[in-house]
Chains A and B, each alone.
Chain A
């Protein structure tokens, strides 16, 4: 079997797609909510955050998986934290260098990727017992599924809260009450509680569709 075929084998594809539905890190496993919901007021930072987490999760799983036979069990948490922290520092420096505005908006939340439970969760649950390549795929899949939820939340909040997407106006100015129209932005959408409520609704929809996931 050539390298290419094994990369896209059925098992690897399942590893990548499973996090989007049955094993979704946010709506099913409840991981990684901590550091991210505050960045979902606008789409652009949400996408940058999603990408950063995807990259860090993928590579952290990959590196830990390479080292998995040499790390003594007792000190593994601190080794994992150091690897993740080093990757996050790299991401932070890159963001500061190329997209400084977004990096300012994300403020402390880039640093908080370190304690994002998805990364530690995937390392503990998957990378410590699997080969590097599947670990990389598993990490990327989980990061991407996490990014997807962020983008959905950010889409709702930006559209309803500011009437824009990516900063481009979607709801025309003339619709607004102050311009003689009928429309008003939903001010609650730009405030923190809205993110939690939207996420609650996403979970509700997801579990209504996928009945297996309903909690007893």
Chain B
């Protein structure tokens, strides 16, 4: 249990998808002009991550890893389908996003209208594929750990996008040099936010 809480806190604050790995930056920059839309997209990402990471975890564990197919019989012990993981993960993500879209459209049309174009775009959000790839690389030992990691990463991403959207709303009143307006200042503010997030880890500087 402590382990799970550790993974949860770590994936939100220390290994934050946006501030530590720059994942999901495209939608992060494009959809962070208003807090309300940012909140909608963030919620959709949390939801998709919560489903895709454990599903991909199970696929990786029972189909793709070296020796994962041994449940089929002795002769499959040496099979390693690891090279297929990119294509399988992205297919699973695209499929789940499609299913989620249909479910949301059917049961909560208001939420569906609010999310609009964002839902299909999540399929190509790097944070979603990134979480699955990190899950594979870090070799979590149980499906619970993978689920918590996916959920935490989503919450971290939500926190980041809502934060930057709030700052951008306020920034409309400040005097920014014309050439820095819009994209430039957003990058610099994101950099400053990333520095703030780093204080959670107790700054580690590694110079080889």
By a beta-carbon cutoff of 8 Å, the part of chain A in contact with chain B is 27, 30-38, 77-78, 81-82, 85-86, 88-89, 92-93, 107-108, 111-112, 114-117, 120, 161-162, 185, 187-188, 190-197, 199-201, 203-204, 207-208, 211, 214-215
CA distance A114 to B90 in the complex (A): 8
B206 pairs with A34, CB closer than 8 A: no
Cross-chain contact B183 with A190 (CB below 8 angstroms): no
B208 to chain A, nearest CB (A): 7
Within 8 A of A (CB), among B177-200: 177-188, 190-192, 194-195, 198
Report B4 CB to chain A, min CB distance, Å. 22
Given contacts A115-B126, A193-B19, A204-B184, contact A108 B191 (CB under 8 A): no
With beta carbons under 8 angstroms apart, the residue of B23, B83, B192, B208 that contacts A34 is B23
The answer to whether B177 touches A204, judged by C-beta atoms less than 8 angstroms apart, is yes
- Contact between chains at B188 and A31 (CB < 8 Å): no
**A34 and B25 contact, CB distance less than 8 A:** yes
Does residue B133 face the partner (Cβ distance < 8 Å to A)?
yes
Residues of A within 8 A of B24 (CB): 34
New A-B contacts (15) at CB < 8 Å, excluding given A191-B205, A193-B192, A193-B198: A32-B26, A89-B87, A107-B137, A108-B137, A112-B126, A112-B130, A112-B133, A115-B126, A193-B194, A196-B194, A197-B188, A199-B187, A204-B179, A204-B184, A207-B180
Residue of B84, B86, B133, B190 with most chain A CB atoms under a 10 A cut-off = B86
A116 engages B126 (CB within 8 Å): yes
Number of interface residues of B (CB under 8 A): 54
Interface contact B191-A193, CB-CB below 8 Å: yes
A161 to B207: give the CA distance in the assembly, Å. Answer: 8
Kindly provide the distance from the CB of B113 to the nearest chain A CB, expressed in whole angstroms: 21
Residues of A within 8 Å of B20, CB to CB, are 192
Q: Within 8 Å of chain A (Cβ to Cβ): is B71?
A: no
Return the contact of A33 from the options B22, B90, B133 (Cβ within 8 A).
Answer: B22
Q: Is B104 interfacial (CB 8 A cutoff)?
A: no
